[in-house]
Structure 1
C-alpha cells in the first residue's frame, strides 16, 4: 500500500510535499523557493540539499532545518508512508479533491491532507461560532445548519466543541456534506475529534488539514486554519461570538478574501452575541435572519423538495418520476446506477429525471450525477 501511495505522486508534487513538511516554511516562502528553482521544485528533488541550501530564499530557521536533510526525496517518502499507514489522502492544488475556491486564495496551502469522500462541486457556507455559547443555543445552531444543508449547501467549519460541532451534525442530520478544517495534523487529533471521526466519515463528512503528519495543534495553527474555512466557502456565517471569540478571525479572513460575511444578531444584553452584533453595526457583516439569507449570499437557488406522500407537487409527478425519485439518495448517483435499479428505458429515465429537476426534487451535477434534495 505504501509503495503504491508513494509512487503515485509526480516529481513536482514530491518536492512540494517534502518542502511543505519543513516547519516554518509557508505558502509564500514555498513560492519564493519555486522561483529560485526556475519555476519547478522538481529540479531540487534530484540534487543534494547542500548544493543549493546556501542560496535558497528562506529564513535562517528554515535553512537550519533544511540543513539536517540530505535530500528531499526521502522526506517525501516518509510523509507519504505515514499518510498511507493512517489512511490519510492527499490533494494538491488543482486536483479535484482540493477545494477550488481555496486554491484561488493568495495564502492557500499547496497540499491538503484529508479523510473522507469529497463530493461533487456545490455552494458552501462557512459556519462558525463560540465554543461556549449561551445556554440553549446549540440546538438552534444544529437546526439552522440542517436547514442550510437541506437546500443543498455544504457546511464548512472547524470541528471545535460548541457551535462548530453543532453545525457539522446539523448538516449530517440532513444527509448533507460537511467539511471540517482542523488545527492539527489528522494523525494528531484531540480526543473529542478522534471520537467523532468514525461517525463523521460514515455519514458523509470530510476532515481536512494543511498540516503534515505529526504536527499537533497550537496557538499558531488554530488561527491559520480559520483562513481555510473562509477560503473554501462561498460565504461565512458567524452564528454566535463574544467580543473576543476566535470565530471573528474567520469573519476577518472572509472579508479579506472578498467573501460575503453574515452574522446572526442577538440580544444586545447577551455578551455571547456581542461579536456578531458589532460585525453588523460596523458594516462588516450582513444580518442573517433566516436560511433564505444564506441561500441568497452563497448564490444557491434551492427549491425545497416536497416529501413523498405529502400531496402538492408530489401528487402531480408521473409514475416514472416517482419511481426514479425513490431510487435516488442524499449522495450523488450516476445515471447508469439509477438505470440499473429501475425498469425504465434510458429515454424514459431521462425524462423522469428532468421532471424531478424541474420540480426541485433532484439536483444534477456535472457528469450526469443526480442527488435527492
Structure 2
C-alpha cells in the first residue's frame, strides 16, 4: 500500500487535529507506526483517535484514496511530513501538518521567507505599507508568505507579484475552495509565481478555527513575522504567538495612537517586537536576531548593495577559489538563475573570474 495513502488516512481520523499533533509526534516519531499499535502506547491522546489508529485504521483507507484522487484531479501535489519537498523549516516546528496540499511549486530558495500579516480592515496607510513591504522584500530575494486574507495579507501578496518575486499563501480551507472568493485572481497569480498550500483536503470549507490553525503554518514557514497593522483582537496576533513559540523573529510597523488598527502593533512594539517601517529594516533586524539570513544588503568591505540571493552565492564562494560548475552545484537556485547572479556579482565587482574561469571573491 502507498505510504501517502496511510498519511492521508491519519489526517482523516477523529481527534487528529493540530492541537494534538505535538503529543502525537512525541509519542510516535514515525507516525505510520501508530497504525495498528496497541491502545496502551497512545498515552493521553484522545480516545477516538486511539480507537481509530489502533483498531479501525483500515476503515479510513478508501476515503484517503478518494481524497488523493480528487487532489490529483484538481492539480494538487500532496506532500507527507517525510517527503523531500516538504519545507524543512516547517518540518522542524513541534506541530507541523502531517500532510500538505500544494498548488504551484515550493523551491529551495523559499527557505528565505518572511511572513507579512495584519488586519483585514487596514487604513489606507496600512494598505500602501503592506504592498510596498511585499514588493521590496520580494525584490530583495525574500519569499513573502501570508494568508490571502482581505486587507494586509492580500496587499503583501500583490506587492510580491508586481515585483516579479516569490510569494506563498497558506489557506484555511481546501485549495479548491478559495477564500475570500473575490481573491480568486490573486490566488492564481500567487500560484503561478510561487505556491499556495493548505493542510485541509479538497472540499474543506473555510471554518473559523481553520484560520487560527493555519496561522501556525504561516509562522512555521518564515524566518520572521512582520505585522503591518493589527487591532487589539486581530487574528494576526495569533500568528505572532506561534512565531514566538517557534523562536521566530517578530517585527511590527508602528502606527498612529488614534488608529484602532494599530493598537495591536503598538502593543507588540511595547512588548519588545522589532520596529520596522520598510523592507530594509526587516532585513537588518533579521540579520541581528537570527542566523538564517546568509548575507547583508551591503557588502561589508565594499558597501555595494546585494540581494539575499546574491548573498547566497557570495557565501558559497567564501574564501575559496571555485569553478563555476562547483558554484552551480552548491547553489540552491536553478542553474540559469545562479549564472545570472554570478554575472551580477561580477558586474558589481564582488566576484572576479580567474584564468581558467574559476571564481574568487574580491
Give TM class, smaller chain: 0.7 to 0.9
Aligned counterpart, 2:257: 268
Residue 132 (structure 1) shift = 0.4
Corresponding position: 1:286 with 2:287: no
- Following superposition of structure 1 onto structure 2, how do residues 112-191 of structure 1 map, counting pairs within 5 Å? 112-121=100-109, 122-190=111-179, 191=181
Distance 1:229 1:259 in 2: 11
Please list every run of 5 or more consecutive structure 1 residues that lacks an aligned counterpart in the other structure: 1-6, 307-330, 339-349, 364-373
**RMSD of Structure 2 on Structure 1 (CA):** 3.3
How far does the alpha carbon of each residue in 1:159-206 deviate from its partner, in whole angstroms, 9 at most, with x for none? 00100000001011111111111111112223224343223323x031
Aligned counterpart, 1:92: 80
Residue 120 (structure 1) shift = 2.5
Aligned counterpart, 1:59: 46
Distance 2:34 2:95 in 1: 23
**Among 64, 82, 89, the residue aligned to 1:76:** 64
Corresponding position: 1:200 with 2:200: no
Aligned counterpart, 1:20: 11
Distance 1:362 1:201 in 2: 34
Query: Compared with structure 1, are the counterparts of its residues 215 and 22 closer, same or farther at alpha carbon in structure 2 (3 Å cutoff)?
Result: farther
Does the CA-based 8 Å contact 1:34-1:41 persist in structure 2? no
Structure 1 window deviating more from structure 2 (238-247 vs 214-223): it is 214-223
Residue 333 (structure 1) shift = 4.2
Corresponding position: 1:216 with 2:217: no
How far does the alpha carbon of each residue in 1:243-262 deviate from its partner, in whole angstroms, 9 at most, with x for none? 11111111111111111100
Distance 2:27 2:202 in 1: 27
Please give the secondary structure, in 2, of the residue aligned with 1:220. Answer: helix
Aligned counterpart, 2:335: 334
Q: TM-score, normalised by structure 1?
A: 0.72
Please list every run of 5 or more consecutive structure 2 residues that lacks an aligned counterpart in the other structure: 288-292, 299-304, 308-331, 352-362
**Among 254, 261, 269, the residue aligned to 2:243:** 254
Aligned counterpart, 1:295: 283
**Among 232, 238, 241, the residue aligned to 2:230:** 241
Does the CA-based 8 Å contact 1:124-1:298 persist in structure 2? no
Residue 100 (structure 1) shift = 1.2
Aligned counterpart, 1:357: 345
Residue 153 (structure 1) shift = 0.8
Residue 355 (structure 1) shift = 4.4
Distance 1:62 1:39 in 2: 16
How many residues are treated as equivalent by the alignment?
310
Query: Compared with structure 1, are the counterparts of its residues 22 and 281 closer, same or farther at alpha carbon in structure 2 (3 Å cutoff)?
Result: same
Does the CA-based 8 Å contact 1:33-1:41 persist in structure 2? no
Residue 29 (structure 1) shift = 4.6
Does the CA-based 8 Å contact 2:39-2:51 persist in structure 1? no
Greater radius of gyration (CA): 1
Q: TM-score, normalised by structure 2?
A: 0.74
